Chains A and B, each alone.
Chain A
Amino acid sequence: MTSSHRAAELIEAPDDFDTINKLYRERKWSDGLPIVPPTQERVARMLAGTQRARNEVVAQLAPGFAEATVENIAINAVMAGCEPAYLPVLIAAVEACADQAFNLQAIQATTNPVAIWVILNGPLAKTLEVNATFNCIGEGSWANATIGRALRLILRNVGGALPGEMDRATQGQPGKFTFCCAENEADSPWEPLHVERGYAKSASTVTVVGAEGTMNMNSHSKDAAELVHVFAETMIHPPSNEYTHGGEPWLMIGPEHAEILQRGGIDKSELKRRLWEASKMRAGLMSVKDRQRVIDSRSEELGPITLDTMLPISTRPEEICIMVAGGPGTHSVYIPCFGNSFAATREIRP
């Protein structure tokens, strides 16, 4: 990556928490919550969390296309309350967000509620105590909360996606404050997400997902085939970007459900194949206008689309994404995707 000659601007402000927060509120530099003032000392401490040069340009972030340097990533990390050890995670997350297939431009500027879900894999997730178990996408974990929050601050302060301005989300969603967890690799019967995506098990990675929201799936079934049916029925929803464009739906499988599936002879690739078949949706369930959007978007892929066409949720079964997270309990989560977006993974480097 290139280096930038533009250092962050220094602003003189009274050494007073309330005054600084008022300033950040007025200048729209916060997500609506109080921030930790990014003083020179705090930013220097944060920068000690990486070996990368302060002025290295990590990426240019849509839709404003400003340079995300290591320094301004660090500033936003301070504001969010991150520990210096989290900085490499954020740098990798920014790199991943700038992956062309992720389609950050659309994610940042759309009317869709899409948030960016950050998933950590590998040994670093454990070292940093990124929660992968109880309440892993809820509150309570410092790493989960502040890493997700810092990425959102970067997306708005560097990427320029301010609500009502370049961020055109009709309603948005709570995940836009923070949305981060690790995979529960220890309790998963399957290979971890990052290994499936081509990384060594010993590598630590961050994966970003354009996530539309979360839909809980509470099933006490102990039958693998029945569970697949429950998941597939949840995935079917007509006003969906996935069926419209062919997407990349995600499932966060609870460890108990994963165990039932594995015992029933369903591994991850088999689960994808079965879900892809079972979640096909009759085009006639969609409104006339929405069906027209599918015709515009997917006729080349699917041929003539009639009321009786069974629409697959993604182009291929492999595009259904599976990870295991959560604590004990009979819950899994369906996470619909934004549609025109594919998750991106990057290795976390010091």
Chain B
Amino acid sequence: MQIAKRGRAAVAICSSAFLTLGRAQARALGHAELPIAVIAHPFGVRTRDEVRVLADGCVDEGVKLATGHNTK
């Protein structure tokens, strides 16, 4: 949010269960349009390696949301 306020490309990352919070928080802080990349919930029960795979899978969406361009 602080990055977005400075006019830089910014993307928040939420798990699907927390998307409501993410959207509401962005609205409350005056950045309703903040792009949010979504990771399937839950990851609290996953191993670190599984979380790394999820994170890797989120990179493309994050870049696309931040730049409007695909990485591939």
- The reply to whether the CB of A174 lies closer than 8 angstroms to some CB of chain B is no
B20: chain A residues at CB < 8 Å are 164-166
A66: chain B residues at CB < 8 Å are 28
Q: Mark A224-257, 1 if CB is under 8 A from B, else 0.
A: 0000000000000000000000000000000000
Interface of A is mostly: loop
Of B17, B28, B48, the residue contacting A65 (CB under 8 A) is B28
A164: chain B residues at CB < 8 Å are 20
Chain B residues numbered 16-38 whose CB sits less than 8 Å from any CB in chain A: 17-18, 20-21, 24-25, 28-29
A80–B48 alpha-carbon span in the complex (Å): 46
- The answer to whether A64 and B18 touch across the interface, beta carbons within 8 angstroms, is no
In this complex, which of A64, A66, A164, A166 has the most chain B Cβ atoms within 10 angstroms of its Cβ? A166
What's the minimum C-beta distance from B55 to chain A, rounded to whole angstroms?
16
B21: chain A residues at CB < 8 Å are 63, 109, 165-166, 168
- The answer to whether B28 and A168 touch across the interface, beta carbons within 8 angstroms, is no
What's the minimum C-beta distance from A162 to chain B, rounded to whole angstroms?
8
- The reply to whether the CB of A160 lies closer than 8 angstroms to some CB of chain B is yes
Q: Mark A149-169, 1 if CB is under 8 A from B, else 0.
A: 000000000001000111010
Interface of B is mostly: helix
Of A65, A109, A168, A292, the residue contacting B29 (CB under 8 A) is A65
Of A65, A168, A292, the residue contacting B18 (CB under 8 A) is A168
A160–B25 alpha-carbon span in the complex (Å): 9
A154–B21 alpha-carbon span in the complex (Å): 18
- The answer to whether B24 and A165 touch across the interface, beta carbons within 8 angstroms, is yes
Which residue on chain B has the smallest CB distance to residue A164? B20
Chain A residues numbered 254-311 whose CB sits less than 8 Å from any CB in chain B: 292
What's the minimum C-beta distance from B27 to chain A, rounded to whole angstroms?
9
- The answer to whether B24 and A160 touch across the interface, beta carbons within 8 angstroms, is yes
A292–B28 alpha-carbon span in the complex (Å): 33
A276–B21 alpha-carbon span in the complex (Å): 36
Which residue on chain A has the smallest CB distance to residue B27? A64
In this complex, which of B17, B18, B25 has the most chain A Cβ atoms within 10 angstroms of its Cβ? B25
A63–B18 alpha-carbon span in the complex (Å): 14
What's the minimum C-beta distance from B47 to chain A, rounded to whole angstroms?
8
Q: Mark A52-84, 1 if CB is under 8 A from B, else 0.
A: 000000000001111000000000000000000
What's the minimum C-beta distance from A335 to chain B, rounded to whole angstroms?
25
Q: Mark B45-61, 1 if CB is under 8 A from A, else 0.
A: 00010000000000000
A65: chain B residues at CB < 8 Å are 28-29
What are 23 A-B pairs with beta-carbon distances under 8 A?
A63-B21, A63-B25, A63-B28, A64-B24, A64-B28, A65-B28, A66-B28, A109-B21, A109-B25, A160-B24, A160-B28, A164-B20, A165-B20, A165-B21, A165-B24, A166-B20, A166-B21, A166-B24, A166-B25, A166-B28, A168-B17, A168-B18, A168-B21
Closest 3 CB pairs between A and B?
A64-B28, A166-B24, A166-B21
